[in-house]
């Protein structure tokens, strides 16, 4: 069992819902990312998605695009992100997902990546532009190394696709709340409930919902329908607004606490 799988099992046993933040590795620097991961873990998040930046992030909106540009201008590479993971593992057991696009992973070599990512302490891998059709080798290679493979499922996915994506995913399923790129929004899509009901009838893994989750009420709304909420852009924006300030890490941890509905943090 990976850390992700045991986390979702525990959440279910305790009748709780999960909270999954996304941050881009190396934004604003790899040292700060290390501190951020440790602070987020301490604040009680359940899983962390660590973004490996790619030069052409077609699934991302402007906030994560800017984070990507900052990270790449800091010369972040996959090797450095794996090294960061090793450092995190010396101090934390928080479940970690390597989140990227397919090309940087493919370029590293799938066999090599599976071996090195598992050794560094990652628990799962997700490539936002990898479709189930193209994923046979990827899924086999990652799973052989003991890593979870997580895929995106969209409101536009047909029931047959939901089933295929459910089979290719383990750990959890990443349900995209709406059509579009990553980014904040005011209201959650009304059709989310219907989409998740259909998804439940075609897949057995826990379901986490992301894209556009940017306020505490969104998180609570997602918790009513799914097993976990994923928040990316609004946390990345919080990082962006505090770059260079001494209290960046505390601010981001406090913001995450607010999203989760723990004003005391």
Partner 1 sequence: MKGHFGNYGGQFVPETLMHPLEELEAAYFEAQRDPRFQAELDELLRTYSGRPTPLYFAERLTKTWGGAKIYLKREDLNHTGAHKINNCLGQGLLARRMGKTRIIAETGAGQHGVATATVCARLGIDCDVYMGEEDIRRQELNVFRMKLLGARVIPVSAGSKTLKDAINESMRDWVTNVRTTYYMLGSVLGPHPYPVMVRDFQSVIGRETRAQILQQERRLPDLLLACVGGGSNSIGLFYDFVGEKQVRMIGVEAGGRGPMLGDHAARFAGGRPGVLHGTFSYILQDEDGQVMPTHSVSAGLDYPSVGPEHAALHDIGRVEYTNVNDAEALDAFHELSHLEGIIPALESAHAVAYAKKLKLPADQIVVVNVSGRGDKDVTEVMRLISHKKAQNSEENPF
CA 206 to chain centre: 14
Stretch that binds partner 1, among 25-33, 55-63, 213-221, 240-248 (CB under 8 A): 55-63
Q: In angstroms, how far apart are the furthest CA atoms of the chain?
A: 50
Does position 153 bind partner 1 by CB under 8 A? yes
Query: Is 5 assigned a catalytic role?
Result: no
Active site residue 240: no
Q: By CB under 8 A, is residue 180 in contact with partner 1? A: yes
Is there binding between residue 179 and partner 1 (CB under 8 A)?
Answer: yes
The answer for residues whose C-beta is within 8 angstroms of residue 213's C-beta and 6 or more apart is 177, 188, 219, 222, 229, 230, 231, 234
Considering only 40, 181, 213, 239, the residue that binds partner 1 (CB under 8 A) is 181
Closer to partner 1 by Cβ: residue 19 or 138: 138
CB-based contacts of 200: which residues, under 8 Å, 6+ apart? Answer: 207
Total chain residues near partner 1 (CB under 8 A) = 41
118 in Cβ contact with 146 (< 8 Å)? yes
Which CB, 94 or 130, lies closer to partner 1? 130
Query: Which residues, 6 or more positions from 138, have their beta carbon under 8 angstroms from its beta carbon?
Result: 102, 105, 110, 127, 130, 149
Is the CB of 87 or the CB of 161 nearer to partner 1? 161
Interacting residue ranges for partner 1, rule: CB under 8 A: 54-61, 65, 72, 77-79, 101-108, 128-131, 133-134, 151-158, 161, 165, 176, 179-181
């Amino acid at each position: 069992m990976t850390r992700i799988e045991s986390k979702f099992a525990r959440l279910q046993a305790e009748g709780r819902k999960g909270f999954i933040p996304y941050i881009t590795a190396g934004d604003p620097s790899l040292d700060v990312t290390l501190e951020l991961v440790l602070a987020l873990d301490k604040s009680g998040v359940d899983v962390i998605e660590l973004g490996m930046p790619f030069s052409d992030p077609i699934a991302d909106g402007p906030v994560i695009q800017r984070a990507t540009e900052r990270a790449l201008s800091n010369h972040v590479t996959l090797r450095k992100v794996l090294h960061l993971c090793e450092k995190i593992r010396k101090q934390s057991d928080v479940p970690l997902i390597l989140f990227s696009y397919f090309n940087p992973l493919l370029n590293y070599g799938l066999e090599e990546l599976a071996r090195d990512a598992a050794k560094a302490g990652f628990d799962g891998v997700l490539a936002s532009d990898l479709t189930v059709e193209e994923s046979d080798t990827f899924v086999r290679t990652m799973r052989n190394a003991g890593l979870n493979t997580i895929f995106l499922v969209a409101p536009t996915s047909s029931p047959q696709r939901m089933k295929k994506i459910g089979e290719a995913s383990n750990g959890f399923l990443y349900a995209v709340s709406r059509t579009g790129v990553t980014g904040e929004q005011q209201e959650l899509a009304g059709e989310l409930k219907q989409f998740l009901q259909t998804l439940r009838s075609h897949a057995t893994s826990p379901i986490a919902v992301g894209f556009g989750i940017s306020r505490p009420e969104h998180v609570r709304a997602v918790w009513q329908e799914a097993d976990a909420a994923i928040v990316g852009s609004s946390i990345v924006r919080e990082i962006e607004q505090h770059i260079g300030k001494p209290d960046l890490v505390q601010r981001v941890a406090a913001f995450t606490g607010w999203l989760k509905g723990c004003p005391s943090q």
